[in-house]
Amino acid sequence: MRKVKILSILLIICLLASILFSIAVNKVYAESGNEVTLNFEGGIIHDGYVEYSKIGKVQLFKGDELVTNISNNMIIDLNEADYEFVIQEIPAEDTGSVVGPAPVKLNINDWYYATTTLNSKVIFKLESSKFSGTLDVKLVRTRTVVNTTVKNVYNDISSKGVIDLTGGQEYVIDFSKDDELTNGLKSFADLDKTLYYKRDNEGLLATDNESEAVIKIVGNKSENKAILTAVNVGTKKSEVFKGFHTKYTGSALNYDGTDGGIINETRTDYYTRCTYEFTFQYAKEEVSPKEYKFTEGANQTYTIDESKNATFKIDADYSLFTNKVYVDNKLVDSTNYDSKSGSTVITLKDEYLKTLSVGEHTLKVAFSDNGEATTKFTIKEKQQNETPEDSKNTENTGSTENTENTENTEKEEQPENNNVTNNDVQKDNTIANPKTGDNVIVYAILFAIALLGIIALVIVNNIKRKNLRKH
């Protein structure tokens, strides 16, 4: 008996849980229901279908189940289940018309809706997102008259650039980008197709003949890009294509209402119109760079802690300057130099020059017309303890030989008086050290003169003595 009670309790709990689960599952429909009222205008209601005389029959299905109690002013909740009409056409009588009988159309609230044929059944689904309120449903056999007003909207762009296809490489047209060149190329591509273009006068023209094409563009919708390659270009190095290209990009249809059985609508067609100039590069062209000259500052010397900056003037128009300055083939950051017009003036800053090694360096300035200017300059250290006279002698020294002579002169032993020159030393040495042969002759002559003087003096004295004796 106790076991029976326990089982009964468990059964009740399961039933309650099922009810609660069902409520929870269907809660969305209770809270967000979309009830609509159906009226079948001009139709004869039968058990399970509505008949429109000589036109067709309409059945209402709730999911896979036929709604048998169909009626006018019946209310259904489109959020409760999937509702759909199944339409069966009644064959029309032969009227002898050349064009035949008018087709059967579904009309809801004076608007014609397209139906879907599935397994030989004509079906129309009542989507909750499209319908609400009262729905006046009817089948009509008519040739619908539609008055369509077409408006064209153009997006005008211009595109110019160089597409590098050298060596047979591919060029990626990235549809996520929005630059001028990419936007122009996108107007020639289709993400769902492979397109070919041939030369037509100066421009590009779509073609179905791959053998006459020069450009192939393969779309890839999954990656949102297209691949552009060159075909049938032979030995050509490059080609320029320019012209005007229009591409249809889509339409939008707006219903403007029905007037006297005529449907009024406005169709807006969108186009991209591109004025383009594309240069397709097939092979590398070796072009000798144009050489510009330095009119000022060439081969100059910068002395650390003495010079202030280093300025160079080039005979190139400043508009061609590309902000590309190289020292020893390394690109110099724009913060390390100043530039200005006249023609082109480049000033290397003092702070940057101090970072360079002592010695010779190469300066190169590039321009947009493939031209460049090149010169040398030297970094020099400031000489320490340099006197004005020494500096002057150093500047006047024109060769290594002279420098060596100067060094040898400084190394020679000098007299106590440092101001005595070599010539003075040579003069002093001439006086102090006469030649030996010349001195002996001089002494002999002097000796002979002195001897003759003594002899003459003796003779004179003897004569005087004799005269004194006579007296």
Closest CA to 164 of 285, 321, 275: 285
CA distance 77 to 34: 5
What integer pLDDT is reported at residue 398 of this predicted model? 43
Phi, psi of 160 (to 5 degrees): -150, 140
CA distance 457 to 463: 10
Residue 297 DSSP code: S
What integer pLDDT is reported at residue 465 of this predicted model? 77
User: Which are the contacts of 402, defined by CB distance < 8 A and separation ≥ 6?
Assistant: none
One DSSP character per residue, 10-59 reads: HHHHHHHHHHHHHHHHTHHHHHS--EEEEEETTPEEETTEEEETTTEEEE
Q: Which domains does the chain have, with CATH numbers?
A: 31-93+101-143 (no CATH), 150-281 (no CATH), 290-380 (2.60.40.10)
CA distance 140 to 275: 50
β-partners of residue 34 are none
Enumerate the H helices of 245-387 as residue ranges: 350-353
What integer pLDDT is reported at residue 383 of this predicted model? 83
Inter-residue long-range contacts of 420-426, CB under 8 Å, 24+ positions, other chains counted? none
Judge residue 233's burial from the number of C-beta atoms within 10 Å of its C-beta, 0-12 exposed, 13-18 middle, 19 or more buried.
Answer: middle
What integer pLDDT is reported at residue 112 of this predicted model? 84
- For 431-465, how does the pLDDT look when each residue is reduced to its tens digit (9 = 90+)? 444 555 556 777 788 888 888 888 888 887 788 77
Task: Count CB atoms within 10 A of the CB of residue 158.
Answer: 12
* Identity at 405, one-letter amino acid code: N
Residue ranges of the chain whose pLDDT lies below 70: 1-8, 10-11, 14-31, 94-100, 144, 260-261, 285-287, 385-439, 469-471
pTM above 0.75, yes or no: no
